[in-house]
Amino acid sequence: MTAPGDEVWDVVVVGAGAAGCALAARLSEDPWRRVLVLEAGPFPSSAAAFPADALDAATIAGAGVGHPLNWAHDATLREGRPYSLARGRVAGGSTTINGGYFVRPRRADHEVWAGLGGREWSREACLPALERLETDAQYGTDALHGSSGPMPVTRAPIGPDGSGGTAGAAAFVRSARAAGLPFEADKNSEQPIGVGPLPMNLRDGERWNAALAYLLPPVGVAAGRPNLELRGETTVRRVVLRREGSRAGTPRAVGVEVVRDGVVSTVRAREVVLAAGALATPVLLLRSGVGPRDELVAAGVSCEVDSPRVGRGLSDHPQVQVTWLDGSRPPQQRVPSMEVVVNTAVGEAGDEVEVLPLTRPMSELLAGPGADAGSGTGSGAASTAPGTPRRLTALVALQTSRSRGRIRLVAGTGEPEPRIDLGYLDDARDRAALRAGVRLTAGLLCSPAFDGVVSEVLPDEAVVGDDELLDAWILDHLGTALHSCGTAAFGGPSAVTDGVGRVNGVDGLRIADLSIVPTAPRRGPALTAVLVGERVSDFMRSGR
């Protein structure tokens, strides 16, 4: 390993995902604070330097297994169910490869977080940051919204009768409303939950990731600042801890060990902030010797700080795909992968489920920008002949899962390797709620709003009507919404972090990503990740 250089950064941010981009931009508003952002993946210099499929909102090609911008973490959804977890390996993180879903957490989420991390996470305390981060195309001038923030927010022009969207989106709106669900025009407000257009982080029809919004030309709010350096293709291996000269023997983070172009070196910092995401941040802590002592010793890692909750409490949204043959006319123009979303409570406990219909077949969405809007072509190969019904998908997710997963290190032939177990559906109440979500979706698809359009819904009526058969179908088709949170959650002294993101037991080390959020929000967490970056920047700038 090369000797540490003389240069010491005021703050090193590890990870240029949604939270890290927001954090770095806000911290570097102080021209005297020198901020370095380290990203394992590429750091394009501008919007024009991103691959086409990273900007095209009509595809999610970057989430495909084998795509160079996808980490594709090996994991298990539950025992015996291996899965590859898509995460963005590029500036902007998963906001560069996801569907563009950009919805605020609900007040109920804030109440849970405030109960564990303090009033800093209440809806009222977070509202200024929620307004500050957005430019809302439809509601920016309304109370509770923003009109001049970095992240663009827009929606398809869908009305309460379904007008303004694709044929499928219109039918979902009509079907949900006929089932008694209210029309939720603005899902980033506190209207009663129901069906409505999906807020998305799009700009001029392109997926506008957090790096473009906060850091990069042509419009990034921090683009070109001399006190902000962006360094891609740099893998952080661990946080460097020192005890000498620290208070009462408490270790202090003094930098990070990195690998770039095959060379190992140390980047020194007065403060290190981990923003690598809910899957990678706990692994960095564990490899740095911060975690459950017994597990670290078993993995061959020297324990610096015994922190039993590192990697525990992983909260996420289990998901299945309900599919059908759709005979409606495909959209003639390229449209975003999502337009409307249904949110509702099910069962006596009021668990929330989400139904998110996709505008095109999944194979098309993963094919990249070479796909034709009507025929489902990718790389010039047609997937469906004209006039042939297309198999479309609705993503059905449980938004209030009680089951929890974990991340740990295990000894290997070389470096200890992470093991990710999402622990899905361990709680019987989760299985019952997801059953209810599938039944709700099948009922919507079989309503008069879809007459003459929908056929061959899977699971079929026989499976949907039988608890045992439906449970078996769900386990066979189980997937994930890729919304992991809570693996370094904030809370009291025994938690991994405190309410302002400081790692308990280590000086000079914070976390600013979804790993500190104790429970996955009732909506997709991309906006929440940006919010975390904004809030931790507030805490740091105020000296907390």
125: alpha, beta or left? (left if phi > 0; alpha if psi -120 to 50):
alpha
Is 477 considered catalytic here? no
> Of residues 67, 73, 317, 483, which has the active-site annotation?
483
Q: Rounded to an integer, what distance in angstroms lies between the CA atom of residue 66 and that of residue 63?
A: 9
Q: Rounded to an integer, what distance in angstroms lies between the CA atom of residue 249 and that of residue 302?
A: 16
Residues in Cβ contact with 101 at an 8 Å cutoff, skipping those fewer than 6 apart:
198, 199, 200, 338, 341, 356, 523, 524, 526
- Fill in the amino acid letter for 345: A
| Beta strands 202-203 and 134-136, pairing class | unpaired
Q: Rounded to an integer, what distance in angstroms lies between the CA atom of residue 31 and that of residue 271?
A: 17
Q: Rounded to an integer, what distance in angstroms lies between the CA atom of residue 410 and that of residue 417?
A: 5
- Residue 20 CB burial class (10 angstroms; 0-12, 13-18, ≥19): buried
Query: How far from chain centre, in Å, is Cα 49?
Result: 23
How is 274-337 classified by DSSP, letter by letter?
E-S-TTHHHHHHHHTTEE-HHHHHHTT---SEE-TTTTEEEB--EEEEEEEEE-SPPPSS---S
What is the CB neighbour count within 10 angstroms for residue 116? Answer: 16
Nearest to 366 by CA among 70, 43, 49, 167: 70
Q: Rounded to an integer, what distance in angstroms lies between the CA atom of residue 491 and that of residue 142?
A: 34
150 token code pair:
């970095």
Catalytic residues: 483
